């Protein structure tokens, strides 16, 4: 059956060629705009039809009960869920008293474009009403990347062939009805209408609504103002009620005339500030937006993105689909952290309510290494947020009987919010992931002030956790027992290789940091004895190895477990966690997502080339990729061990996770870590970039389907540009403010001194894989990019 094509493959935009309501939920996520503080899903301007309305403020949440069939010591008592706050996107249109609705009348044209260089969502519609009137609507939506509290919408209406009376109702709507039943009535009662009215005001061209959450007690202010131009006889009034504020504009338009609204929006929230303070903050934000004006906001957005793309762009010649997708991915990664200002970067960013709006370990493991390379100030802010929750992490560790800090597996505010203890309590690797992000940020930026003021605290308290939690056996080896690594199908096991290697790096980094900053060591009470214990634990860390197979068991004894019957598993039984008991998964050699393979990337200096090749081949045959976090890691290591075509396949899966809704939950928001993984799969994968111990190195190679790969990154204030072709790599350097600079790096194991004077070219040696290309479990291999031809201007079918 032929399916209509929906999205054009274009290098700098995502263009929806027509409206397909069957794809609406996914489109709302893909067309989301955010800035790390404020996020708006790509809902239609008129508010309906919608799949999932959403406007979010970073860390604005409601408390909810966590149900347990049977309680246990140390279980979290309540969860935190992101709140759909007051919706300011809504602009309703009536044409001769008939409401504009894409389901009624006839939609003559409908196109939306997410512009990755201008940072706006554009829409153009031609619609014939049931009565026969034809109108054209153009809108442009913007969430400011420079002013965190500000969003704006330019909305234009014009008749096409006959005079019409037009009524535009621009609204603020609180407590929108959300689709889908909540099975727990306690949760439903909390989240159905979480916002309690405090103040409403409407006059002139604007309005204000203020609310407070029922349980968490967070105060919210949302305000709007309008700049209206049109026929001289137009009328504009505003009104406000508890959960609705509306500015109404009425006029008559003849063909050739236009009504234009510029809607300015401002949001603010606080745990502590008074209503007056919040009211004044949104009023100031609106005044600032009026001062900038629509054109000024557009110019600032474009200037911010010009600067961003200068250091972040990835150019892919030969695979136009991957080219578009990696830019879309980077745009959303930027949006997730651009103006977070000491707030977290959640798994879905601010694109949807998936995972309750929680932040997980994958922020530090996947997102922050990318932001460190392309937007280091955003990485710094995310780490400062972790530091702000250090007290809560210390309390959690104390509750569990450990020293140091136990950071939560999933949270919004900093408290553990997982009722599933094999992850929420046992996935301790999150502490080492945070420590690793600190080290990589400091190595890349040389930000010693951050290391002293923030980094040392995080390194010390996570190191203390490992020293407290682990133990030396009678032979002196150091073990971390009963943990859950990144693979959630292998839980509560001993000596997870990824966790142990990351903990070893954590312990050593903490010891090094306190020796560089003895004043901070004194303030934290770190003694020489404690430092010696950290180094001893790191040196004695147990790293399991199966001598018979010549591979590393993911956890102790993993290679002795029963094999999973992949041949007997139907395609509709994936993801496995929805069709099989966890007990069966836990005792089998089946891997949800890259775990040992993740260690091959991030702790690659701990493995020989032969070990990497054998380990990768072994785990390829057992990894089912029921997680979006897997494909990018597999791409990186596939490229390193020489399976370049397979790496290309995994790159395609990583970058297209949300465009193709590969995990069937893009409706709930984008997978920010997988989007960051798009950059990792290309730069760390095909570019071979590594930064072990602060040493920058590259080992670039290209598959047959990619003719050229070029990317930039920031390293210690310098902009490094790498251009890769099949037989050579070219490195160039630009200093801060155009000044002279030099940088030492490695190319395929050979040192290279790069200066700003001239680019340097180096040959790329031929690749010789040490093992045959491995197979994957039946039906779980990636789609082969080598069989796909994409070109600019083509369209893709994104229906399920």
Q: How confident is the model at residue 342 (pLDDT cuts 50, 70, 90)?
A: confident
Q: How confident is the model at residue 799 (pLDDT cuts 50, 70, 90)?
A: very low
Q: Report helix, strand or coil for 296.
A: helix
In 10 A of CB 719, how many CB atoms?
Answer: 17
Over residues 97-125, the mean pLDDT reads: 97
Catalytic residues: 488
How far is residue 325's CA from residue 323's CA, in Å, rounded to a whole number? 6
Mean pLDDT, the chain, whole residue set: 95
Within 8 A by CB and 6+ apart from 355, the residues are: 346, 347, 348, 410, 668, 669
Contact 285, 757 (CB under 8 A): no
Predicted local distance difference test score (pLDDT) of residue 797 = 53
Query: Among 145, 197, 136, 171, which residue's Cα sits nearest to residue 43?
Result: 171
Over residues 440-452, the mean pLDDT reads: 98
Q: Which tens digit of pLDDT belongs to each residue from 651-696?
A: 999 999 999 999 989 999 999 999 999 999 999 999 999 999 999 9
How far is residue 711's CA from residue 752's CA, in Å, rounded to a whole number? 18
**Residue ranges of domains in the chain:** 7-285, 312-356+545-785, 389-544
Over residues 278-304, the mean pLDDT reads: 97
The CATH number of the structural domain formed by 7-285 is 2.70.98.40
Query: Among 315, 255, 469, 324, which residue's Cα sits nearest to residue 7?
Result: 324
Residue 51 has pLDDT above 60, yes or no: yes
How far is residue 49's CA from residue 467's CA, in Å, rounded to a whole number? 55
Query: Among 222, 141, 174, 176, which residue's Cα sits nearest to residue 53?
Result: 176
The CATH class given to the 389-544 domain equals mainly alpha
Predicted local distance difference test score (pLDDT) of residue 185 = 45
Q: Which helix (H) or strand (E) holds 130?
A: none
How far is residue 129's CA from residue 221's CA, in Å, rounded to a whole number? 36
Q: Which tens digit of pLDDT belongs to each residue from 501-538?
A: 999 999 999 999 999 999 999 999 999 999 999 999 99
Residue 162 has pLDDT above 70, yes or no: yes
Predicted local distance difference test score (pLDDT) of residue 70 = 79
Alpha-carbon Rg for the chain, nearest whole angstrom, is 27
Give the strand pairing for 588-589 and 562-563: parallel
Predicted local distance difference test score (pLDDT) of residue 2 = 37
How far is residue 340's CA from residue 349's CA, in Å, rounded to a whole number? 10
Six-digit token string for 631: 């494909």
- What is the reported pTM? 0.96
Q: What is the DSSP string of 182-215?
A: -SSHHHHHHHSS-EEEEEEEEETTEEEEEEEETT
Query: Among 623, 615, 551, 629, which residue's Cα sits nearest to residue 589?
Result: 623
């Amino acid at each position: 059956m032929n399916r209509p094509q929906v999205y054009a493959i274009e290098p700098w935009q995502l263009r929806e060629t027509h409206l397909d309501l069957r794809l609406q939920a996914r489109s709302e996520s893909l067309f989301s705009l955010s800035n790390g503080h404020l996020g708006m899903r790509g809902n239609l301007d008129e508010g309906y039809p919608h799949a999932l309305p959403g406007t979010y403020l970073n860390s604005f949440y409601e408390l909810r009960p966590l149900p347990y069939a049977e309680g246990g010591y140390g279980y979290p008592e309540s969860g935190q869920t992101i709140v759909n706050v007051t919706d300011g996107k809504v602009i309703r249109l009536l044409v001769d008293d008939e409401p504009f609705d894409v389901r009624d009348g006839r939609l003559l044209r409908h196109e939306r474009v997410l512009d990755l260089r201008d940072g706006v969502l554009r829409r153009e519609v031609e619609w014939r009403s049931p009565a026969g009137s034809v109108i054209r609507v153009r809108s442009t939506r913007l969430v400011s990347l420079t002013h965190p509290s500000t969003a704006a919408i330019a909305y234009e209406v014009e008749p096409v062939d006959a005079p019409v009376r037009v009524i535009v109702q621009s609204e603020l709507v609180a407590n929108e009805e959300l689709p889908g039943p909540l099975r727990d009535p306690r949760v439903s009662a909390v989240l159905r209408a979480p916002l309690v009215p405090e103040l409403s005001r409407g006059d002139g061209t604007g309005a204000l609504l203020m609310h407070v959450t029922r349980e968490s007690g967070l105060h919210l202010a949302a305000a709007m103002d309008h700049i209206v131009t049109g026929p001289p006889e137009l009328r504009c009034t505003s009104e406000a009620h508890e959960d609705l504020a509306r500015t109404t504009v009425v006029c008559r338009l003849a063909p050739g005339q236009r009504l234009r609204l510029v809607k300015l929006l401002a949001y603010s929230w606080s745990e502590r500030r008074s209503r007056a303070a919040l009211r004044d903050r949104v009023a100031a934000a609106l005044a600032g937006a009026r001062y900038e004006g629509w054109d000024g906001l557009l110019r600032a957005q474009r200037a911010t993105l010009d600067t961003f793309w200068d250091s972040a762009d990835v150019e892919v010649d030969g695979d136009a689909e991957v080219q578009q997708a990696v830019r879309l991915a980077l745009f959303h990664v930027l949006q997730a952290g651009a103006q977070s200002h000491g707030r977290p970067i959640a798994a879905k960013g601010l694109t949807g309510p998936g995972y309750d709006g929680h932040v997980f370990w994958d922020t530090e493991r996947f997102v922050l290494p990318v932001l460190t390379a392309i937007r280091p100030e955003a990485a710094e802010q995310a780490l400062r947020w972790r530091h702000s929750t250090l007290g809560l992490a210390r309390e959690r560790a104390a509750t569990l009987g450990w020293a140091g800090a136990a950071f939560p597996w999933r949270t919004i505010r900093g408290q553990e919010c997982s009722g599933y203890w094999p992850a929420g309590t046992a996935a301790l690797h999150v502490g080492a992931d945070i420590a690793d992000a600190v080290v990589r940020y400091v190595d890349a930026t040389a930000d010693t002030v951050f290391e002293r003021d923030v980094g040392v605290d995080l390194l010390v308290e996570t190191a203390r956790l490992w020293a407290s939690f682990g133990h030396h056996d009678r032979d002196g080896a150091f073990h971390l027992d009963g943990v859950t690594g990144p693979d959630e199908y292998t839980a509560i096991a001993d000596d997870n290789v990824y966790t142990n290697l990351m903990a070893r790096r954590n312990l050593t980094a903490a010891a090094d940091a306190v020796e560089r900053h003895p004043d901070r060591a004194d303030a934290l009470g770190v003694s020489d004895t404690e430092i010696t214990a950290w180094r001893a634990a790191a040196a004695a860390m147990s790293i399991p190895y199966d001598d018979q197979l010549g591979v590393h068991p993911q956890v102790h004894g993993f290679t002795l477990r029963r094999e999973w019957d992949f041949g007997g598993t139907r395609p509709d039984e994936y993801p496995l966690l929805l069709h099989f008991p966890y007990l069966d998964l836990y005792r089998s050699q089946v891997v949800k997502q890259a775990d040992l393979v993740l260690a091959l990337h991030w702790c690659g200096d701990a493995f020989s080339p032969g070990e990497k090749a054998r380990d990768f081949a072994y785990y390829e045959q057992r990894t089912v990729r029921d997680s979006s976090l897997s494909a990018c890691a597999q791409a990186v290591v596939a490229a390193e061990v020489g399976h370049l075509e397979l790496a290309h396949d995994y790159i395609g899966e990583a970058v297209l996770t949300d465009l193709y809704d590969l995990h069937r939950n893009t409706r709930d928001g984008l997978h920010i870590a997988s989007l960051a993984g798009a950059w990792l799969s290309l730069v760390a994968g095909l570019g071979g970039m590594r930064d072990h111990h602060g040493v920058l190195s590259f080992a670039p190679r290209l598959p047959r389907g990619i003719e050229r790969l070029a990317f930039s990154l920031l390293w210690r204030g310098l902009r490094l540009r790498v251009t890769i072709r099949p037989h050579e790599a070219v490195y160039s350097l630009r200093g801060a403010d155009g000044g002279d600079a030099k940088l030492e790096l490695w190319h395929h194991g050979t040192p290279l001194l790069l200066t700003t004077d001239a680019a340097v070219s180096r040959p790329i040696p031929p690749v010789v894989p040490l093992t045959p290309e491995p197979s994957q479990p039946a039906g779980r291999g990636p789609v082969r990019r080598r069989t796909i031809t994409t070109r600019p201007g083509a369209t893709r079918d994104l229906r399920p």
